[in-house]
């Protein structure tokens, strides 16, 4: 049963007393071409679209229908995370820095046709988290379908930004709730549990250490959003929740600050993938090298809004697919070698990788079982045709020996660096290729000039045995995408 938190009574800088009701509504998401929650220009992944191979498990856990999408919006030095549930209800966690006044977030919502936020969460009152609250509330209440309710830890700030936020709540009569450990935030089809802060504030009410921490559970996958929790609140989380903190995806605490995402938290959460939200040229130096080293030691793939742009994680309850604006390394220690992506940059997101629930482990071992692969039982890119027996003499007609790779999903997939290989270990590495939804590319064994639909291996002899072989498609890190014997 969902637990409604008690109304929040907070005294603003201007002496405003805010009272709360207890209702929420249903969000609205306008579908773009072929993808729920998608805009034709900026292209958005909000559905996993994975299929099961023959004999593979399709169990996503009890009661799972549709998909959950978590958008880590590139707002520069700040945080804003949009959650779109399987029925279209929406949850927005933070709105970026006060200097942007909600501009990046409003543009992002408008581009996706989102005119209502069912739940707006203030993790804490710092200006790089609630900086756009007033503008977003005003925009949605004036030009959209409004905000269902606001959730806040109840630790006030004596800042103009905080005062404007509470003024907007009052002027539009938006219900405001104090939120603490044990509460749940309603989002149809998804369990949104509040893990912190406790009823008695930590660290004498220091704002970061009383961040609202959310765990989103969808089927067998989970996402942990820790706000700016640091050296006081993170131990509280580990002590209070223990191994139930496990997360398929972890958002690094405090923008990747060395004070957060501790070894103890990583050991408790065992994430398969981590996302960092901060500016490329953060004046605080985020993400700090200490955090990148901790993630690197555990070999956790890491996405950074500073180099990947907006990051969209989509779950079908079993697998989380990660799509980004820019193709960049996910090796934590190498993130700074990549080019920056400016906040507010438009453009499509492209699926880069997929992570299965339970892939991480406490000592930084395998992302997906003992061999480190993403299991083939659930995938969106497949080997759709194998033509091993070329017409005539195979050795003289190598271009007629080929394998066809097809994207069966609903979003583009970057094949750059992926590998085709046979049982003997002969390898073909894909050049810079992005495969659109429903599109196929044919990899021909012989010589030729690459086109959008045909790639040439350049081998001097046949690769695929006429009497049987195995075609294996690998990701750049060696993880198996699919394996087809014939």
Residues 320 and 384 reside in one and the same domain: no
Please indicate, yes or no, if residue 345 is contained in any of the structural domains: yes
Residues 291 and 212 reside in one and the same domain: yes
Residues 283 and 419 reside in one and the same domain: no
Examine the fold and report which residue of 289, 323, 356 is the final residue of a domain before the chain moves on: 356
pLDDT digits (tens, 9 = 90+) for 417-463: 999 999 999 999 999 999 998 899 999 999 999 999 999 999 999 99
Highest mean pLDDT among 51-55, 188-192, 316-320: 188-192
* Alpha-carbon gap, residue 300 to 415, rounded angstroms: 21
Please indicate, yes or no, if residue 170 is contained in any of the structural domains: no
**What average pLDDT does range 29-58 have in this prediction?**
28
- Cα-based distances in Å from 145 to 36, 252, 312, 327: 19, 32, 24, 35
pLDDT digits (tens, 9 = 90+) for 350-397: 888 889 877 664 333 333 332 333 333 334 788 999 999 999 998 899
* Alpha-carbon gap, residue 465 to 486, rounded angstroms: 10
pLDDT above 90 for 412:
no
**Which structural domain, as residue segments, surrounds residue 69?**
51-116+180-356
* Alpha-carbon gap, residue 486 to 480, rounded angstroms: 17
Residues 400 and 299 reside in one and the same domain: no
pLDDT above 70 for 45:
no
Q: Which residues of 208-228 are buried (b: 16+ CB within 10 A; e: fewer)?
A: bbbbbbbbbbbbbbbbbbbbb
Among residues 297, 226, 225, 230, the alpha carbon closest in space to that of 257 is found at 230
Q: Following CA atoms 171, 172, 173, 174 in sequence, which dihedral angle do they give, to the nearest 10 degrees?
A: -130
Residues 339 and 385 reside in one and the same domain: no
pLDDT above 60 for 25:
no
Please indicate, yes or no, if residue 142 is contained in any of the structural domains: no
Residues 351 and 430 reside in one and the same domain: no
Q: What is the pLDDT of residue 360?
A: 60
CATH assignment at residue 226: 3.60.15.10
Q: What is the pLDDT of residue 362?
A: 36
Q: What is the pTM (predicted TM-score) of this model?
A: 0.72
Residues 88 and 198 reside in one and the same domain: yes
Q: At what angle do helices 133-143 and 160-171 cross, to 10 degrees?
A: 20
Among residues 483, 423, 428, the alpha carbon closest in space to that of 459 is found at 428
DSSP assignment, residue 225?
A: E
Please indicate, yes or no, if residue 386 is contained in any of the structural domains: yes
Q: At what angle do helices 103-111 and 133-143 cross, to 10 degrees?
A: 40
State the pLDDT confidence band at 63, using cuts at 50, 70 and 90: low
Please indicate, yes or no, if residue 275 is contained in any of the structural domains: yes
DSSP assignment, residue 18?
A: -
Q: What's the number of domains the chain is made of? A: 2
* Alpha-carbon gap, residue 95 to 73, rounded angstroms: 9
Please indicate, yes or no, if residue 412 is contained in any of the structural domains: yes
Residues 327 and 411 reside in one and the same domain: no
Q: What is the pLDDT of residue 390?
A: 93
Q: Which helix (H) or strand (E) holds 90?
A: strand 90-93
Is 273 exposed, middle or buried, given 0-12, 13-18 or 19+ CB atoms closer than 10 A?
A: buried
Residues 230 and 348 reside in one and the same domain: yes
| Contact call for residues 219 and 192 (beta carbons, < 8 A) | no
Please indicate, yes or no, if residue 84 is contained in any of the structural domains: yes
* Alpha-carbon gap, residue 178 to 168, rounded angstroms: 17
Residue of 408 and 97 predicted with greater confidence? 97
* Alpha-carbon gap, residue 52 to 318, rounded angstroms: 11
Residues sharing a CB contact under 8 Å with residue 235, sequence separation 6 or more, in sequence order: 262, 264
**What average pLDDT does range 21-44 have in this prediction?**
29
Please indicate, yes or no, if residue 445 is contained in any of the structural domains: yes
* Alpha-carbon gap, residue 27 to 142, rounded angstroms: 16
Residues 199 and 314 reside in one and the same domain: yes
| Contact call for residues 105 and 111 (beta carbons, < 8 A) | no
CA angle 367, 217, 412 (to 5 degrees): 60
Q: Is the peptide bond before 287 cis (omega within 30 degrees of 0)?
A: yes
User: Going by DSSP bridges, is the β-strand pair 51-52/378-379 parallel, antiparallel, or unpaired?
Assistant: antiparallel
CATH assignment at residue 434: 2.60.40.1260
| Contact call for residues 181 and 229 (beta carbons, < 8 A) | no
Residues 326 and 392 reside in one and the same domain: no
Residues 329 and 423 reside in one and the same domain: no
């Amino acid at each position: 049963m969902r637990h409604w938190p008690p109304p929040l009574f907070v005294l603003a800088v201007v002496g405003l007393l805010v009272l709360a009701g207890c209702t929420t509504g249903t969000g609205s998401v306008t579908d773009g071409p072929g993808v729920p929650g998608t805009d034709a220009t900026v292209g958005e992944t909000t559905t996993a679209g994975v299929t099961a191979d023959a004999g593979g498990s399709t169990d996503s856990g009890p009661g799972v229908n549709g998909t959950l999408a978590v958008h880590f919006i590139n707002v520069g030095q700040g945080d804003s995370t949009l959650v779109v549930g399987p029925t279209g209800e929406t949850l927005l966690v933070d709105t970026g820095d006060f200097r942007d006044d909600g501009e990046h977030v409003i543009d992002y919502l408008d581009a996706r046709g989102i005119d209502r936020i069912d739940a707006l969460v203030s993790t804490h009152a710092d200006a790089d988290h609630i900086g756009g609250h007033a503008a977003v509330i005003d925009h949605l209440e004036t030009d959209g379908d409004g905000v269902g309710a606001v959730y806040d830890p109840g630790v006030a700030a004596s800042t103009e930004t905080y005062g404007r936020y509470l003024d907007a709540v009052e002027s539009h009569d938006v219900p405001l709730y104090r939120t603490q450990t044990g509460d749940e935030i309603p989002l149809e089809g998804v369990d949104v549990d509040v893990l912190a802060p406790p009823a008695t504030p930590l660290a004498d009410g220091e704002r970061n250490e009383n961040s609202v921490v959310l765990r989103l559970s969808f089927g067998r996958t989970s996402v942990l959003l820790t706000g700016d929790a640091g050296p006081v609140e993170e131990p509280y989380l580990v002590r209070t929740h223990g191994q139930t903190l496990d997360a398929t995806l972890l958002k690094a605490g405090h923008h990747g600050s060395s004070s957060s995402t501790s070894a103890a938290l990583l050991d408790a959460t065992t994430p398969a993938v981590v996302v960092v939200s901060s500016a490329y040229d953060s004046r605080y130096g985020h993400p700090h090298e200490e955090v990148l080293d901790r993630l690197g030691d555990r070999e956790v793939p890491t996405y950074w809004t500073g180099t990947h742009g907006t990051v969209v994680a989509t779950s079908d309850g079993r697998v989380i697919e990660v799509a980004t604006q820019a193709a960049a390394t996910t090796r934590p220690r190498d993130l700074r070698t990549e080019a920056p992506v400016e906040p507010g940059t438009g453009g499509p997101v492209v699926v880069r990788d997929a992570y299965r629930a339970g892939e991480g482990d406490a000592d930084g071992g395998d992302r997906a079982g003992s061999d480190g692969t993403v299991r083939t039982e659930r995938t969106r890119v497949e080997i759709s045709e194998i033509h091993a027996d070329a017409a005539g003499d195979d050795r003289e007609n190598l271009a007629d020996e080929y394998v066809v790779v097809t994207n069966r999903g609903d979003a583009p997939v970057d094949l750059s660096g992926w590998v085709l290989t046979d049982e003997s270990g002969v390898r073909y590495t894909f050049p810079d290729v992005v495969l659109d939804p429903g599109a196929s590319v044919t990899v021909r064994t012989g010589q030729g000039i690459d086109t959008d639909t045909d790639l040439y291996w350049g081998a001097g002899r046949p690769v695929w045995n006429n009497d049987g072989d195995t075609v294996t498609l690998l990701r750049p890190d060696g993880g198996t995408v699919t394996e087809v014997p014939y």
